[in-house]
Amino acid sequence: MTLAYQVKNPYTQESIGDFNFSSKEEIGNCLETLKKGREVQSNLRAFQRSDILRKLASLLETHAESLAMMITQETGKTIADSRVELTRAINTTIACSEEARQIQGEVLDSDAYAPARGRTGVVRYTPIGTVLCITPFNFPINIAMHKIGPAFAAGNRIILKPAPINHGSAAKLVELCYEAGIAKEVLQLVVPDIDQMAGLVSHPDVNAVNFTGGHPAAEAIAAHAGYKKMLFELGGSDPLIIMPDADLDAAVNAAIQQRFATAGQRCTAAKRLFVHQNVYKEFRDILVKASSELVVGDPAKEETFVGPLVNEQSAIQIKDVIDQSVKMGATIALGGQREGNIVFPTILENVPDDSPVMTEEVFGPVIPLREFESIDEIIPVINSSDYGLQAGVFTHDLRTIHRLFDELDVGTLATNDGPGFRAEHFPFGGVKHSGIGREGIKYAIREMSVTKTLVL
C-alpha cells in the first residue's frame, strides 16, 4: 500500500487534504497510457496544439482566483503574490501557444565547403518523446506551465510530477489541461515517493527529465537518469550590486520585492547585496526603514507582504543560518526573529564573506549587506559561489555593465533591476550548480526536441 501524505496550511497548520503516493502499478499504467499518446500527438498539427494552449490560457484566466487561493493555502505564499503567479502563468501559456506555430528548421547547402557534393540538408526539430516534468513548491502553476507548455508545443508526451504539497493545485491544472483539449494519453499526473521516483527517472519509456529544484535532488536524478536528456533549473545565490550612481529608491524596491516576497523562497531572489561604500549608509537606512514597514503574517490577507515559510523545518533552518552568521561577526540591522513558520524580514551587516548567508543558497527572507570599494574586489567573491544563476546591478555606467556581463559567471545580468527579473520568453538558466540547459518558451521547446537531418 502506498503511503498517505497530508497537506497542511503552512500558516494555520490546518490540514487541507491528503493523498496516497503513486504506486509502482499506477506509474506503470501511466507510462502505458502515454505510449498511445505518440499517435495522438503525431495526428495534431502545430496550429491545433496552438489553439489548445490558447484555450488553456483562457481557462487559467477563468480559474485564476481559485487557483491563487489554492497556492496560498498550500505554500503560504501571500494572496497578492499568488495572483501575480497566475498572471504570469497565463502569459506563459499564451507564449507557448504562439511559439507552437513558430517551430522551424532550416535548409543547408552541402556545397558551402569543398568538395562540392550537390546535396541539401533539411533540418527539423522533432519530439523527444516522454518528458518527466518535476516542479517545485514555490511557483506550482507558472513553473508547471513553463514545462507542460513547451513540451506539448514540441509534440511530446508529459508526466507532471509536482511537489507533494501542491497535489491539489497540480490536479486542478491537469484537469484544465484536459478541458482545453490535451489528451490523457499525452499528459499524466503522478506523485511518487522517493523510492518510486528513482524507478520513474530511470524508466526506459522516459526520454527526458525537466527539473526545477535544488542541487542535491538534481544530483540524485542525474545518478538515475543515465543518458536521458536533462534540463535542470536549480538554485542560485544571486548578487545585487549597488553602484555609486544607482537610483537608490529603485534599488531598495528591487531588493525588497525580490528578496522578501515569497518569504525569500525564490531561486532568483536577491540573496547577496553588494553596496558601494559611497552610498552604503544611505542605501542601508532607506532599506531598513522600508523593510520595517512591511506587513508580516497571514498570507490570505490582502495587505500581507511576508508570509510563512513552507514548513517548520525550513523556518528553523533559516533561523539557524542567521544565528550562525551572527556568531561569525555579522550584526542584525533588522529582524532576526522567528515565530512558528514565519521568519521576519532580516537585514544583516558586517557579514563575513565565508558566512553561510554569503556562501549558501539561503531560501528565506534574509538580506546580507556587503560594503565594497571597487568591483575588482567583489567579482571574485561573487564568482567563488558554487551557483551562477542571475545577477543584478544598479548603475548607468556602460563600462561597469559590460565588465560585469563579461566577467560574472551567471546566466543573466539585469541592469537597473534585481536578479529576480524574468520575462517568460527570455532564455532562463544558469551555470555551475545553477543548472544545465535553458528554459524560456522558445528555448525550452528546443531543449525538449530532437534535431534531425534529412539529406537530399
Q: What distance in Å separates the CA atoms of residue 168 and residue 85, rounded to the nearest whole number? A: 16
Residue tagged active-site, from 96, 267, 439, 447: 267
* Nearest-5° Cα angle at 147, 234 to 174: 125
Dihedral angle, C-alpha 65, 67, 73, 74, nearest 10 °: -160
What grid cell was written down for 36?
498511445
Q: What distance in Å separates the CA atoms of residue 73 and residue 49, rounded to the nearest whole number? A: 32
Q: What distance in Å separates the CA atoms of residue 117 and residue 148, rounded to the nearest whole number? A: 42
Spell out the residues 6+ positions from residue 257 whose beta carbon is closer than 8 angstroms to its own: 418, 420
Cβ contact 329:224 at 8 Å: no
Cβ contact 357:366 at 8 Å: yes
177 catalytically annotated: no
Q: What distance in Å separates the CA atoms of residue 101 and residue 57, rounded to the nearest whole number? A: 16
| Block residue for cell numbers 491544472 | 173
21 φ/ψ angles, rounded to the nearest 5 degrees: -60, 150
Residue tagged active-site, from 85, 99, 233, 349: 233
267 catalytically annotated: yes
- Can you list the alpha helix ranges (DSSP code H) found in 188-271? 194-202, 215-225, 248-259
At 289 the three-state DSSP class reads: helix
Burial grade of 39 (CB within 10 A; 0-12, 13-18, 19 or more): exposed
What grid cell was written down for 421?
527579473
Helices (H) and strands (E) in the chain, counts: 16, 22
Q: Is the dihedral of CA 111, 117, 118, 121 positive or negative?
A: negative
Spell out the residues 6+ positions from residue 44 whose beta carbon is closer than 8 angstroms to its own: 155
Cβ contact 162:191 at 8 Å: yes
Q: What distance in Å separates the CA atoms of residue 374 and residue 277, rounded to the nearest whole number? A: 9
Catalytic residues: 233, 267
